[in-house]
A and B are shown apart, each in its own frame.
Chain A
């Protein structure tokens, strides 16, 4: 009995001793190793989803937002029956089984099957409980307005990096750096929260564009392209005092939610990336220069009765014989002969100086990627015909934005503004990170701009080239442009391919908007006043209504009601 008791005690003592030894091993000898192992099992590093900042219009309406999605991946080494899994996924995802199967049998341990799948669709796949198929949270950029302002907003790639437009130019503000946090979890993999916020957001970008004005501009541009069967078109609306772009569109266009479905040509923002010969809209250079230099005044008479003028051995004609015209009429009727005569009086050095004053041949500094500077040769490289050609907007290449900026300078009293589309960038907490500052440079005297503004008003009046651009109730100041395109085959001016444009501002005396409409290769008519003028009129009219801008004559026509105590 005693012997048994001794044996039992010894076994128990050994048992305790073994336990103590093991505990000493765990807690003293191999403490660090076990600690690391425990942490590895209990603590999981989780990536915090990074959300790009949103893009809003000037009134806070969402133009680009984020949606939570999930991306589906696979680990081929864990998939026993790839055919069956591929078939199940194919049914759930509406995707060809061959494409999925190729990923399931790949040698890599990690393969994306589909990125950015909606939560509802991933739930269907989760319900299948397929081994070797995993899900990772992902963020999808969503553009609720579809193709509206597509060239301007731009789009992102599969990893939410900005590829075009504002998304690209302001990528460093919109995106945020990804971070990982440590999360405690139990044996079943359930996480234990510490109550920390798990969201990283980028800064929000507020644009200068107005969704309403953008819609008006795009709708009318679409109608014009359809009506004139044009190859392409561009329109820009700007606040002439600040340079804020209120609306900007190019045609053809694309849906921001599926940019990969179209060619790169459709995605090009032609308002800043494409140059064209401006034609008569460029007469602003010679016109303002002549007034500023005192070479002419509005009533200076110029003989245009011949209907043509020879410069450097080349004949330049007017569309019609116009007789003797005042300088005012030269601009109003867009006489090439009269303008060249004024240009010859100015001389090439002065013309070039004023071209540079308007900022032609240089980038405007517009805050979107891809802006080109245009093209203008220095006077020493001008040929004998250049002074005539450049005076009427040939032998130069400009962007629609440059032309609009030049006319905005007349609208605002002689200041060259810097066009921009981003007004403010705010942190997720609401602090201002960036604010656009307008620092206009005076390039003309107020006298010159006032005189030229009066002349531009006559363009849309009876006898002008753009009566079709006149807006009911408000005076429009502007200029038409009709330019021949170069035929790429013959390298000469094409006889049937033209660029028709109209640029101006309204109301003429207290401008609220400056706008340019450029229609490339219209069919049926070619003149700026006929093709682009009416588009300007329609956009301006709807925009002024949208902005609640009263008619110029609202007081004369007794359209103003004022509350007074006498009203009965």
Chain B
């Protein structure tokens, strides 16, 4: 390489190095600020999650309260006129073979078990 070319290269290298250095500094600052901003976003999301979890817990409590057997019975008996099954009138359905689908007849004792 000629001396002239070499001095031109060195002359170019200086500003490029400064530019790269500046770019790296700004990149680090930008990266750092992005991480911090991400942490803020995460923090906000966590707050939202906490609020939603709180709402979920309240809903679970309400659901458990609404599905309380005593309440259901009151609604069924007083509200819908339903009654607890009369054991004398209950008909039991069994499968003759495990792989078979259930089929029933309204005629009591239409077919009797070969095995339960």
Contacts and interface: CB of A to CB of B under 8 A. Distances in A.
A67 B58 contact: yes
Given A144-B68, A194-B39, A561 B87 contact: no
A104 B105 CA distance: 76
Contact of A562 (B65, B70, B96): B96
A211 to B, nearest CB: 5
A564 B110 CA distance: 10
Interface string A173-202: 000000000001000001111110010000
Nearest to B102: A563
A560 B43 contact: no
B93 interface: yes
A461 B80 CA distance: 37
A190 B101 CA distance: 62
Contacts of A541: 87
A248 to B, nearest CB: 16
A119 interface: yes
B111 A567 contact: yes
Contacts of B105: 561, 567-568
B82 to A, nearest CB: 13
Contacts of A212: 69
Residue among A146, A551, A558, A568 having the largest count of chain B Cβ atoms under 10 Å: A558
Nearest to A142: B61
A119 B88 CA distance: 51
Contact of B116 (A548, A558, A560): A560
B64 A144 contact: yes
Contacts of B9: none
Given A61-B67, A192-B39, A193-B39, A473 B88 contact: yes
Contacts of B45: 193
A409 to B, nearest CB: 27
Nearest to A563: B103
B57 interface: yes
A473 B85 CA distance: 13
A29 to B, nearest CB: 27
A254 to B, nearest CB: 16
Given A192-B40, A561-B92, A561-B104, A473 B87 contact: yes
A463 B116 CA distance: 35
Interface in A257-286: none
A70 B87 CA distance: 50
Contacts of A65: 57, 60-61, 64
Interface string A519-563: 000000000000000000000011011001011001101111111
A567 B107 CA distance: 10
B109 to A, nearest CB: 2
24 contacts: A61-B67, A65-B57, A66-B57, A67-B58, A68-B54, A144-B61, A144-B64, A190-B43, A192-B36, A192-B40, A192-B42, A192-B43, A542-B84, A550-B92, A558-B109, A559-B91, A560-B93, A561-B94, A561-B108, A562-B94, A563-B95, A564-B96, A564-B111, A567-B110
Interface of A: 61-62, 65-68, 119, 142, 144-146, 148, 184, 190-195, 198, 211-212, 215, 219, 472-473, 541-542, 544-545, 548, 550-551, 554-555, 557-564, 566-568
Given A61-B67, A142-B61, A212-B69, 19 more contacts: A65-B64, A68-B53, A145-B65, A191-B43, A192-B39, A215-B68, A215-B70, A545-B84, A545-B90, A555-B112, A555-B113, A558-B109, A558-B112, A560-B91, A560-B94, A560-B116, A562-B113, A564-B96, A567-B110
